[in-house]
Each structure stands twice: as C-alpha cells, then as structure tokens.
Amino acid sequence: MQNKNDITRSLIISFSFLILAYLVFGLYSLYEIRTLSGLTRAIYNHPLLVSNTALQSNVAITKMHRDMKDVVLFKTTSRIEQAIAAVDQQEQSVYQYLDIVRDRILGAEGKQLEKQTRALFKDWRSIRKEVIALVRNGQSEKAAQITIGKGADHVAKLEESMVALTNYAKAKAATFMHESEKTHTRLNVSSITFLFLFISASFLIAIFTIKKTASVENEIRESRQLLLNAIDHAPIGMVLIKPQGNLHKVNKAFCEMTGYSEKELSAMSYQELSHLDDSDIGAHRRKTRKNSYRKKVCKKRWKHH
C-alpha cells in the first residue's frame, strides 16, 4: 500500500509539473504571438500607411505642378480656370494626405519632417497665387518665368522633403519587420526547445513509471511466493479457499490430515470436508453480511429522502 501511495504521489507530481510547464509555454507563446500581431498591425497602421500616403502626396504635388504649367500655357479663360480648379482640388487632397501622415507617423524626427513638408507646401501657395494673378492680368510670360524658376525650385524642395518623409517611414517599417522576424525566430526556438523538453520529460516519467510498476510487481510476486512457501512447509494443515468455496491451495500436512491427494482436494469444496453441522457456516456468514449491507444501504437512502 505504501509503494502504491508513493507511485501515485510521484505520478501526480510529475504530471502536475508537465501541465505547469505546458501552461507556462502556452502563456509565453500567446504573449509572443500577440507581440508579433502587434508588430504586424504597427507596420500597416504606421510606416506602411505613412510611406504610401507620402507617395500619394508626392504624386498629387507633381500633378499640381503640371496643372500650374497648364495655367500658364492655356490661352482661353475657361481652360485656365479649369486648370486652376484642378490645382485647388489636388491641394485639398495633399492636405488630407498630410493629415494622415501627421496622425500616423512615429518618432520626433518623423513629426519634424511632417511639419517641414507641410510648411513648404503652405509656402508654395503664395507662389501659385502670384502666378495665377499674373496670368489673369495677361502677363503669362512673367508667370511662366516664375513657374519654371522659383516655382520649380520650391516644388523640388517639396518633393525632396516628401522623399525624406517616405524614406523615414520605410526605415521604420524595416525596423518593425526586423523586430517581427526576431519575435518569430524566438517563437520557433522556444517551440522546438519546449517540444524537446516535453518529450524528454514524458520519456523519463514513462521510464520511472515502468520501473516503479515492475518493482511493485516483483514485491507482490515475492510476497505471494513467500506465502505459498510458508503454506507448503507449515507443520500444520493450511488451505487457501476461493470465494466460490473451492480449495485453491493445500499443503502436505493438510493432505495427510484429510487423507486426500492435492489433486483430489483441488476438485473439492470446503463444505465437502466440513462436518454436517458446520457445512453451511460459510454460506450463512456471507448471507448475513449481504443482508447487513442491504439494510445499511436502505437506511441511508431512507434518511436521504
């Protein structure tokens, strides 16, 4: 019984350790997966979105510069006004793009780049207004000189600032990607390590269980053999009886006492060897115990109801 309790206790401790290890690894994996998911979202919601928006802003600025050239080149008033309206429309789009960049960009350097780009874009408006005023006053040649001179230089600075903004966002995205790859690598290494440790621990527990079980079986086998040896060599008649009443094991002294051989006795029951007055003692005791048990069960059920 002590050995059985020791095995049960050891198995409970071992499997509790495995469950705890699995729980810790599961929590760690969930944390790493959440980190990986957060990095992926950050890549999309911040650097990727900022770089794409900056590129769109740059395209819109290029269209504005082209439309400003159309303002200077067109001769009819309707075409000039259409070009001016297109410039105004693109201007609103650029401000919308810059607002997205301002809200999404990360880091002090990125915010400073956004402010610089916004300021350059805002300053370009005065140059455009000057060109438009000259065109409306019929001074297209002077307006053209401003457009290809001061205006083009300002647009070049603006595009350069946009490129810096895009590169900054791409660099941030590369940083997040690097962190994401590191997290993914850590998760792979920890998964492989845990799998190896889990298999090793399970193997050790299996070996321990097999050894303990074999040891208990050997002890039971030795105890049984000692009991049989004690019965065989006892100076008095000894017998083991099966629950059904048949003789299971008899020793030499019992055979000499009854005058039957061991083979003959193995086919007999204890009632056949008992006195007539005592032949139903065993059956009576079993019946008495059975009735007593039924009474206890009925009494317990009655109380329960």
Domain that holds residue 64: 2-210
Tokens of 292: 């007593």
Please report the pLDDT score of residue 19 as a whole number.
76
Domain co-membership, 256 together with 295: yes
**Residue 66 belongs to some domain of the structure:** yes
* Number of Cα atoms under 13 Å in the Cβ half of residue 186: 15
Of 191, 210, 229, the position where a domain reaches its end is: 210
pLDDT at 300 over 70: no
Instruction: Name the DSSP class of 47.
Output: I
* Domain membership flag for residue 218: no
- pLDDT over 80 at 30, yes or no: no
Work out how many domains the chain is built from and give that number.
Answer: 2
Question: Do 173 and 51 contact (CB within 8 A), yes or no?
Answer: yes
Distance (Å) of CA 255 to CA 126, 237, 267: 128, 8, 13
- CA–CA dist 96, 93 (Å, integer): 5
- Tokens 């201007």 -> residue: 91
Angle between helices 108-136 and 152-232 (to 10 degrees): 150
Are 283 and 181 contained in the same domain? no
Choosing from 192, 210, 228, the residue where a domain stops is: 210
Judge whether 215 lies within some domain.
no
152 lies in a domain?
yes
- Same domain flag for 261 and 203: no
At residue 243, does pLDDT exceed 70? yes
Contact 120, 161 (CB under 8 A): yes
Same domain for 41 and 138, yes or no, is yes
Measuring CA to CA, which residue among 2, 11, 1 is closest to residue 208? 11
Tokens encoding 13:
């401790």
Give the C-alpha separation, 299 to 293, whole Å: 10
**Is 20 part of a structural domain of the chain?**
yes
pLDDT of 3 reads: 54
273 and 202 co-located in one domain: no
**pTM of the full structure:** 0.52
Q: Decide if 216 is inside a domain.
A: no
How much is the pLDDT for 37?
66
* pLDDT at 134 > cutoff 90: yes
Quote the CA–CA distance of 245 and 266 in Å, as a whole number. 11
Side-chain half-sphere of 14: how many Cα atoms within 13 Å?
A: 17
Q: pLDDT category, 36, cuts 50, 70, 90?
A: low
Residue 267 has φ and ψ, to the nearest 5°, of -95, 5
One domain for residues 36 and 140: yes
The reply to whether 104 falls in a domain is yes
Position 20, amino acid: L
Q: For residue range 253-298, list pLDDT tens digits in order.
A: 888 888 888 888 888 887 777 766 655 555 545 444 444 434 443 3
- From residue 169, alpha-carbon distances to 32, 133, 164 in Å are 25, 37, 9
**Residue 149 domain-assigned?**
yes
Please state the φ and ψ torsions of residue 74, each to the nearest 5 degrees: -65, 145
Contact 244, 267 (CB under 8 A): no
Same domain, 273 and 137: no
